[in-house]
Amino acid sequence: MLDIKFIRENLEVVKMAATKKKIKIDLDELIALDDSRREIMTQLEAKKAEQNRVSTDIANTKEDTIRRQLITEMQSLKGEIQSDEEKLKPILAEWQALMLQVPNIPDMSVPDGDSDEDNEEVKVWGEKPKFDFEPKDHVEIMTKLNMVDFERGAKVHGFRGYYLIGDGARLSWAIWNFANAFWEEKGFSPILGPSIVRKANLYGTGHLPNEAEDVYKTQDDDYLIGTSEVSTMGYYTDDILEESQFPIKHLAFSPCFRREAGSHGKDVKGLIRVHEFFKVEQVVLCEASHEASVKLHEEITANSEEFMQALGIPYHVVINCGGDLGQGQVKKYDIEAWVPKEGKYRETHSSSYFHDFQSRRFNIRYKDKEGKLRYAHSLNNTAIASPRILVSLIENYQQADGSIKIPPALVPYFGKDRIG
Give residue 366's pLDDT: 98
Q: Which residue has the higher pLDDT, 265 or 135?
A: 135
Instruction: Compute CA distances 319 → 107, 357, 363, 397, 417, whole Å.
Output: 11, 20, 29, 27, 35
Where is average pLDDT lowest: 70-84, 116-130, 175-189?
Answer: 70-84
Cβ atoms of 302 and 182 closer than 8 Å: no
Q: Report the DSSP pairing between strands 240-242 and 148-149.
A: unpaired
DSSP string, 35-96: HHHHHHHHHHHHHHHHHHHHHHHHHH---HHHHHHHHHHHHHHHHHHHHHHHHHHHHHHHHH
Distance CA 157, CA 268 (A): 14
Active-site residues, by number, are 258, 273, 347, 350, 388
Task: Find residue 337's DSSP bridge partners.
Answer: 315, 346
Domain 116-419 has CATH 2.60.120.560: no
Span between the terminal Cα atoms of the chain, in Å: 51
Distance CA 115, CA 45 (A): 47
Cβ atoms of 314 and 338 closer than 8 Å: yes
Beta strands in 287-343 (DSSP E): 315-319, 331-339
DSSP string, 96-141: HHHHTTPPPPPPTTPPP-SSGGG-EEEEEESPPP--SS-PPPHHHH
So where are the chain's domains? 4-99, 116-419
Distance CA 204, CA 213 (A): 17
4-99 and 116-419 have identical folds: no
Average pLDDT over residues 158-169: 96
Backbone dihedral angles phi then psi of residue 14, each to the nearest 5 degrees = -65, -40
Query: Per residue in 277-297, pLDDT tens?
Result: 999 999 999 999 999 999 999
> The CATH number of 4-99 is which of 1.10.287.40, 3.30.930.10, 3.30.365.10, 1.10.10.10?
1.10.287.40
Query: Per residue in 107-127, pLDDT tens?
Result: 999 999 999 999 999 999 999
